[in-house]
Amino acid sequence: MRYFISILALMVLVPSCQYETVQMDEFEVHGIDVSHYQAQINWDTIADQHVAFGFVKATEGATHVDTLFCRNWSEMERVGIKRGAYHFFRPQTSPVSQAQNFIQQVQMKDGDLPPVLDVEVKGDVSKRRLVDAVRTWMIIVESRYDIKPILYTNVKFYNRYLAGHFDDYPVWIARYNTREPRLAGGRQWDFWQYGNKGLINGIDGYVDFNVFQGNLLELEDFCKPPAQVYSYAD
């Protein structure tokens, strides 16, 4: 009997993992994140569906560049979607080389979202070395673009390795659930990736769904501001 119940429970749980991500209408500002895995995206169609922002993979490690980054980056600007670029971090690779890889590929403009560092794996490094490497990347990139980068990770990884070390940087948290992320120390999230099985016209297959903690005006304030121009009276 116990064996039968276990099988039945498994039958119930497996299909639940395949459920489509339902858009959270209680939030005002919605977005997606993409990479070459989404193949050719029809950005005109995406823009017609109240997608306010999008993050796109640019680079990974010291040398890798996403094959569709340039196309996605320019298309998002053309259709008027707030765009942000992210780098997938490899802890055992020089953070300086990784920052240089990102900087060489990403040309930011006024009104773009801050750069993003995607930290999901620890590799064979200590927690201290991981934190130091992440901080090095963030400092270099912040210096180059004159805006604080966003730190992306999932709830468990943040709470275990990163909590308390990057409180002065915005955070984008992955938690595939209908309940909001709960971060160590009561930290509030800025962006929330709440599902990875979203369906939207313009993309064949699944895409990650995200929300911003705020309204459209606050999203605008979150973006890279125009450079200050000073004038001096005689």
Longest dimension (CA), the chain: 91
The one catalytic residue among 20, 44, 48, 120? 120
- Rounded CA-CA distance 220/204 in Å is 29
Pairing mode, strands 29-34 and 207-212: antiparallel
The one catalytic residue among 33, 66, 75, 118? 33
Name residue 172's beta-bridge partners. Answer: 152, 191
- Pick the closest to residue 174 from 189, 154, 150 (CA basis): 154
CA distances from 15 to 8, 18, 220, 224 (A): 12, 5, 39, 42
Is residue 66 annotated as part of the catalytic site, yes or no?
no
Is residue 234 annotated as part of the catalytic site, yes or no?
no
With H, G, I as helix, E, B as strand and everything else as coil, classify residue 116.
Answer: strand
H or E element that contains 34: strand 29-34
The tokens describing 83, both together, are 């765009």
| Residues forming the active site | 33, 120
